[in-house]
Amino acid sequence: MELNNEYGTPEDFRKAVVELRNALPAQNTVSTDSAVLKTHGDSRFDYHPESPPTVVAFPNSTEDVVAIVKIALKYKMPIIPYSGATSLEGNFRAPPIGGICVDLSRMNKILEIHEADSDVVCQPGVQWTHLNDALKEKGIRLFFPLDPGYGATIGGMISTGCSGTNAVCYGTAKGEWILNITVVLPNGQVMKTRQRSRKSSAGFDSTKLFIGAEGTLGIITEATLRLAPVLDTNVAVVSFPDARSASNAVIEVMNRGVGAQCIELVDDVFMHAVNASGLYEQKWPETDSLFIKFQGSTARAIQEGSDIAREVMTKHGAIAFELAKNEQEATDLWNIRKNALHAGLKLVPGARGWSTDVCVPVSRLPEIITETKKDIAKTTITSVVIGHAGDGNFHTLLLFRDDAELEVARQLADRMAERAIALEGTCTGEHGVGIGKRKYLKQELGEGTIDFMKTIKRAIDPLNLFNPGKASIQVIMLFD
Amino acid sequence: MELNNEYGTPEDFRKAVVELRNALPAQNTVSTDSAVLKTHGDSRFDYHPESPPTVVAFPNSTEDVVAIVKIALKYKMPIIPYSGATSLEGNFRAPPIGGICVDLSRMNKILEIHEADSDVVCQPGVQWTHLNDALKEKGIRLFFPLDPGYGATIGGMISTGCSGTNAVCYGTAKGEWILNITVVLPNGQVMKTRQRSRKSSAGFDSTKLFIGAEGTLGIITEATLRLAPVLDTNVAVVSFPDARSASNAVIEVMNRGVGAQCIELVDDVFMHAVNASGLYEQKWPETDSLFIKFQGSTARAIQEGSDIAREVMTKHGAIAFELAKNEQEATDLWNIRKNALHAGLKLVPGARGWSTDVCVPVSRLPEIITETKKDIAKTTITSVVIGHAGDGNFHTLLLFRDDAELEVARQLADRMAERAIALEGTCTGEHGVGIGKRKYLKQELGEGTIDFMKTIKRAIDPLNLFNPGKASIQVIMLFD
């Protein structure tokens, strides 16, 4: 079961670059500048090996992308989509043979806003934060609730199967937020997957196949997104003796139907990092804690939700429950969680951070956090734990100071992934597969599912041109 | 772009039946009894032409299904999955050449309940109502929120891409309720699509491809389902002068974040049917109305939600707002909506009902309902309108008395589908495609998407054995 991977020759690739320049003649639309190639083959956010493309093209439209794909087809040249470049698993690294990086960051227009239908149509290079800012500026009390890292764009978010802190309330990219997408397929054809209604049972939804596919099946050039109403919120920080009591409290709070937009678990090391950061006057207990964003239709509804949460959490052993007294306090408290990376990195002077995540059935979260922290404690690595507690999803930020510690961090991340899989979980809750998590997929999904995914990949991209070596199609790819 | 459809000969099919009996030797596990064949090739719920299979097999396990699929492969015999048989578009009719109907109704076990993780593992023949009853009996305050017609089973619900009255709050089968499935693929291999954690970004989720595929890509033999907490509810009936004011009120209530499990729109004819049914002592205004099920974490939260709804709805012109005063009243009011089919059918003595549904962006709902009612008024057909207003999804129950009126009903349903597609909607909101809605798909999805779906179908089921002529793969199928 091998995919064709007879790519073009270096001479073919040179011809392809010439044709790209002819097809996209505007200035700065096709680049082989070494600095541009380097940027597009590396990342500030991860420590996977860099691997630059042969050329970077900056399309402005679906038609431009079609032109690029046709050239890639003609010269059997790999093609790698790129936009926000915030992914963490090397998701946009070129294969060693090179290829065309398709940088979609100029396709960053919001095309239509349908307020009464709670949806928008936009291009893939739109950042989710910009989309939400634009809605706010227009006085529209709707927002797009998927909230991965700052700078992430819609195309990348769909392709990564992203989520974020809001997922406990709103679910992930794999839910019903992506109403349809326009995709340029590996054969150069353009497909709009479905219409704009919220629901449809008109066969299987082709959209879904592209969510989490990391560009291996096509390039998304437009998307219709469902929006959610903006509700009032308030924030609490709750300190617990350990992750287990915090997790149990979360399960009960959720089952009581408390309106919570986010329920974030952080560990004692994180709270120490916050206190030690010098960023805040206040000091918090340095124990496993929850940051909760309550939401509701009125202030009274939020108060009631937080009252229930306080009662449940006290029952589960909470040692402190601080609810913001006004909007400014709520923003300030939430910023502590939001600036996790910043505070975490300050913990070890000069350190860099390896960020990795896994997800398990929620009842197994305390167990895997405990085991992972024990494992980390055996090394010289310092790490903070940040989890989306309501989802069973957690991150470690493994702080390393040199190449030797980077290797230790890599091994810790490996064992974390294996532990998650053993607990009926996944090696990647929301960061995607890229080149970083490929090796776990067979173990996690089983040979049958991998074969099935390969069958799909082969049918849609028989030449294996689209982001080869990524996502789930790893076992037969260039990188291995 | 043709699928292979060289099926076996009648002699091949006879041999297949003999092999089926050998492979599944227990009594009453393989049947060619004419009454059994008739039941499995027709439906009490729709008026599409009947079309019985050659043989019906009743597997008890995934292994049984594998054995059946291998025999189908050997003799190139179509294979049609069947369980609750409540679908409305002929989704389980055999192709004219016949085939093996795989009746999964004996695979009706709940295998695992993970209360702390809010999920269950079950077989495809489990009815959603039985699942929820079983959870209730065990004192577990969790439920599976997808609620199509009574009698629907998990396998069929997944395969139809179902939803129901709860979709406005919980979304549809295409959301994140189906954590994983075990499928017997057309090549006889068994695949479990993914692990049990709530989230994963480990590549595209193969599960999604089977949601709405109507058995054309494989047979589901097990599923892990996410559950939601059971919350307290209350019910209101709100009378409006017309569907437009009701729809506008619904949009605003939803944007205010009111906790509503269901928001159902019914028309004046429905309310007349209720009053005329003799089933209820009370009489309601015979106008377009909403049935709302409020939910919340406490009685006060529900009261607050209903207060906001009352205020918003009054602003939008509601002429009556009746909130149940206790649990019994709430159950009674909700039963009026639940018994819609029953009350509707009583409206025209001796009539049968053709049930069809479409879905449009929510702001277009009043327009399409108005146009559809005008269209119906030009005929001798009586119809009630019942909509899931928050989703833009509505049903008509077209009451016909004879074959001539059946033909008129069919044409009304045709025009309703075309109208929905013209308004950026879908010909089928939640009933699936079956044989009834195939003809609209090219118009709705476009040639590119249909080609894409065919590519997938061909890759997974190259012999076109699995439920041929259904779902989205219609244009190249036997039935055309």
Q: What is the tens place of the pLDDT at every residue in A287-310? A: 999 999 999 999 999 999 999 999
What is the least distance, in Å, from the CA of B191 to any CA of chain A?
5
Inspect the interface and report whether the beta carbons of A431 and B212 lie closer than 8 Å: no
Inspect the interface and report whether the beta carbons of B201 and A160 lie closer than 8 Å: yes
- The closest of B261, B259, B280 to B271, measured between CA atoms, is B280
| Domain end (from A77, A105, A133) | A105
| Domain end (from B204, B229, B254) | B229
Q: What is the pLDDT of residues A77-110, one digit of tens each?
A: 999 999 999 999 999 999 999 999 999 999 999 9
B chain contacts of residue A430, beta-carbon cutoff 8 Å:
199, 201
Residue from the list A114, A208, A364 with its beta carbon closest to the beta carbon of B208: A208
CB of B141 less than 8 A from some CB of A: yes
Average pLDDT, chain B: 94
Confidence class for position A339, pLDDT limits 50, 70, 90: confident
Instruction: Please state, in angstroms and rounded to a whole number, the distance separating the CA atoms of residues B174 and B164.
Output: 12
Q: B192 by DSSP, 3-state: which?
A: strand
Residue from the list B301, B420, B433 with its beta carbon closest to the beta carbon of A301: B301
Residue from the list A204, A301, A472 with its beta carbon closest to the beta carbon of B203: A472
**At B208, which helix (H) or strand (E)?**
helix B207-210
A263 shares a domain with A312: yes
Inspect the interface and report whether the beta carbons of B391 and A193 lie closer than 8 Å: no
**At A243, which helix (H) or strand (E)?**
helix A243-255
| Domain of residue A204, CATH code | 3.30.465.10
Q: What is the pLDDT of residues B5-36, one digit of tens each?
A: 689 999 999 999 999 999 999 999 999 999 99
A266 shares a domain with A129: no
Give a yes or no: residue A457 inside a domain. Answer: no
Using alpha carbons, list the distances in angstroms from residue A203 to A459, B224, B438.
19, 21, 9
Read off the pLDDT of each residue in A198-207 and give the average, rounded to a whole number: 96
Read off the pLDDT of each residue in A227-240 and give the average, rounded to a whole number: 97
ipTM of this model? 0.96
CB of A455 less than 8 A from some CB of B: yes
Instruction: Please state, in angstroms and rounded to a whole number, the distance separating the CA atoms of residues B118 and A257.
Output: 13
Q: What is the pLDDT of residues B360-403, one digit of tens each?
A: 999 999 999 999 999 999 999 999 999 999 999 999 999 999 99
Confidence class for position B117, pLDDT limits 50, 70, 90: very high
Average pLDDT, chain A: 94
In this predicted structure, what is the pLDDT of residue A3?
52
Give a yes or no: residue B441 inside a domain. Answer: no
CB of A186 less than 8 A from some CB of B: no
Give a yes or no: residue A474 inside a domain. Answer: no
CB of A140 less than 8 A from some CB of B: no
CB of B393 less than 8 A from some CB of A: yes
CB of A103 less than 8 A from some CB of B: no
In this predicted structure, what is the pLDDT of residue B471?
62
Inspect the interface and report whether the beta carbons of B197 and A471 lie closer than 8 Å: no
Place of tokens 């050239």: A71
DSSP B446: H
Give the A window 215-244 contacts with B, CB below 8 Å: 217, 229, 231
DSSP A162: -
Give a yes or no: residue B79 inside a domain. Answer: yes
Confidence class for position B339, pLDDT limits 50, 70, 90: confident
Place of tokens 């038609």: A63
| Domain of residue B45, CATH code | 3.30.43.10
Non-local CB neighbours of B93 within 8 Å, separated by 6+ positions: B41, B42, B48, B49, B50, B51, B80, B434, B435
Query: Over 90: is that where the pLDDT of A470 sits?
Result: no
What is the least distance, in Å, from the CA of A280 to any CA of chain B?
33
Query: Over 50: is that where the pLDDT of B143 sits?
Result: yes
Non-local CB neighbours of B113 within 8 Å, separated by 6+ positions: B120, B135, B138, B140
Using alpha carbons, list the distances in angstroms from residue B479 to A419, B57, B473.
50, 23, 11
Query: Over 90: is that where the pLDDT of A1 sits?
Result: no
In this predicted structure, what is the pLDDT of residue A78?
97
CB of B164 less than 8 A from some CB of A: no
Query: Over 90: is that where the pLDDT of B224 sits?
Result: yes
Total H helices, total E strands in chain B: 15, 18
Q: What is the pLDDT of residues B250-283, one digit of tens each?
A: 999 999 999 999 999 999 999 999 999 888 899 9
A114 shares a domain with A101: no
Give a yes or no: residue A371 inside a domain. Answer: yes
In this predicted structure, what is the pLDDT of residue A6?
86
Q: What is the pLDDT of residues B41-97, one digit of tens each?
A: 999 889 999 999 999 999 999 999 999 999 999 999 999 999 999 999 999 999 999
B264 shares a domain with B371: yes
Split into its structural domains, chain A has a count of: 3
Query: Over 70: is that where the pLDDT of B452 sits?
Result: yes
Percent of chain A having pLDDT more than 90? Answer: 93
In this predicted structure, what is the pLDDT of residue A471?
63
Query: Over 60: is that where the pLDDT of B479 sits?
Result: no
In this predicted structure, what is the pLDDT of residue B373?
97
Distance of CA A127 to the CA centre of its chain: 13
A chain contacts of residue B471, beta-carbon cutoff 8 Å:
203-204
Q: How many pairs of residues across A and B have Cβ atoms under 8 Å apart?
A: 342
Q: At what angle do helices B243-255 and B365-377 cross, to 10 degrees?
A: 160
A73 shares a domain with A203: no
Read off the pLDDT of each residue in B216-230 and give the average, rounded to a whole number: 98
B267 shares a domain with B389: yes
Residue from the list B209, B217, B424 with its beta carbon closest to the beta carbon of A197: B424
A chain contacts of residue B391, beta-carbon cutoff 8 Å:
198-199
CB of B421 less than 8 A from some CB of A: yes
CB of A435 less than 8 A from some CB of B: no
A chain contacts of residue B202, beta-carbon cutoff 8 Å:
212, 426-428, 433, 437, 440-441, 444-445, 472
CB B200 within 8 Å of CB A160? no
CB B437 within 8 Å of CB B431? yes
Angle made by CA atoms B88, B89, B93, in degrees to the nearest 5: 105
Q: A49 in the Ramachandran plot: left (φ > 0), alpha (ψ -120 to 50) or beta?
A: beta
B chain contacts of residue A185, beta-carbon cutoff 8 Å:
448, 452
**Higher-confidence position of B343 and A392:** A392
Inspect the interface and report whether the beta carbons of B201 and A392 lie closer than 8 Å: no
Phi first, then psi: give them for residue A378, nearest 5 degrees.
-75, -10
| Domain of residue B409, CATH code | 3.40.462.10
Burial A215-245 (b: 16+ CB within 10 A, else e): bbbbbbbbbbbbbbbbbebbbbbbbbeebbb
Number of residues that make up chain A: 480
Residue from the list B201, B206, B362 with its beta carbon closest to the beta carbon of A429: B201
B chain contacts of residue A114, beta-carbon cutoff 8 Å:
361, 363
Q: What is the DSSP string of A9-49?
A: PHHHHHHHHHHHHHHS-STTSEE--HHHHHHHT--SS--SP
Give a yes or no: residue B458 inside a domain. Answer: no
B246 shares a domain with B194: no
Q: Which of A204, A254, A423 to mutate to test the interface with B (most CBs of B within 10 A)?
A: A204
Structure tokens at B108: 């009706």
Read off the pLDDT of each residue in A162-168 and give the average, rounded to a whole number: 96
Inspect the interface and report whether the beta carbons of B431 and A392 lie closer than 8 Å: no
**Higher-confidence position of B3 and A232:** A232
- The closest of B274, B164, B179 to B227, measured between CA atoms, is B179
In this predicted structure, what is the pLDDT of residue B1?
40
CB of A193 less than 8 A from some CB of B: yes
Read off the pLDDT of each residue in A416-427 and give the average, rounded to a whole number: 98
CB of A167 less than 8 A from some CB of B: yes
Inspect the interface and report whether the beta carbons of B427 and A301 lie closer than 8 Å: no
A380 shares a domain with A318: yes
Confidence class for position B341, pLDDT limits 50, 70, 90: confident
CB A296 within 8 Å of CB A261? no
Closest chain A residue to B229 measured between Cα atoms?
Answer: A255
Give a yes or no: residue B463 inside a domain. Answer: no
Place of tokens 């106008």: B287
Structure tokens at A96: 């060693």
Query: Over 50: is that where the pLDDT of A356 sits?
Result: yes
Structure tokens at A203: 């066969």
CB A58 within 8 Å of CB A131? no
Confidence class for position B477, pLDDT limits 50, 70, 90: very low
Instruction: Please state, in angstroms and rounded to a whole number, the distance separating the CA atoms of residues A43 and A62.
Output: 26
| Domain end (from A85, A105, A125) | A105
Q: Domain containing B29: what range? A: 10-105
Read off the pLDDT of each residue in B162-176 and give the average, rounded to a whole number: 97
In this predicted structure, what is the pLDDT of residue B44?
87
Closest chain B residue to A172 measured between Cα atoms?
Answer: B199
Q: Which of B146, B201, B297 to mutate to test the interface with A (most CBs of A within 10 A)?
A: B201
B124 shares a domain with B25: no
Inspect the interface and report whether the beta carbons of B362 and A116 lie closer than 8 Å: yes
In this predicted structure, what is the pLDDT of residue A48?
93
Residue from the list B117, B255, B459 with its beta carbon closest to the beta carbon of A459: B459
Q: Quick check: pTM over 0.90? A: yes
Give the A window 241-260 contacts with B, CB below 8 Å: 251, 254-259
B chain contacts of residue A139, beta-carbon cutoff 8 Å:
none
A389 shares a domain with A414: yes
Instruction: Please state, in angstroms and rounded to a whole number, the distance separating the CA atoms of residues B363 and A254.
Output: 32
Read off the pLDDT of each residue in A418-422 and give the average, rounded to a whole number: 98
CB of B209 less than 8 A from some CB of A: yes
Q: Which of B197, B421, B457, B472 to mutate to test the interface with A (most CBs of A within 10 A)?
A: B197
A317 shares a domain with A237: yes
B290 shares a domain with B406: yes
A74 burial type by CB count under 10 A (0-12 exposed, 13-18 middle, 19+ buried): middle
Lowest mean pLDDT among A188-192, A342-346, B454-458: A342-346
Q: What is the pLDDT of residues B394-441, one digit of tens each?
A: 999 999 999 999 999 999 999 999 999 999 999 999 999 999 999 999
In this predicted structure, what is the pLDDT of residue B5?
63
- The closest of B142, B174, B137 to B159, measured between CA atoms, is B174
Which residue(s) pair with A112 in the sheet?
A121
B chain contacts of residue A214, beta-carbon cutoff 8 Å:
203
Inspect the interface and report whether the beta carbons of A449 and B206 lie closer than 8 Å: yes
Read off the pLDDT of each residue in B438-447 and give the average, rounded to a whole number: 94
Confidence class for position A341, pLDDT limits 50, 70, 90: confident
Confidence class for position A5, pLDDT limits 50, 70, 90: low
Give a yes or no: residue A280 inside a domain. Answer: yes
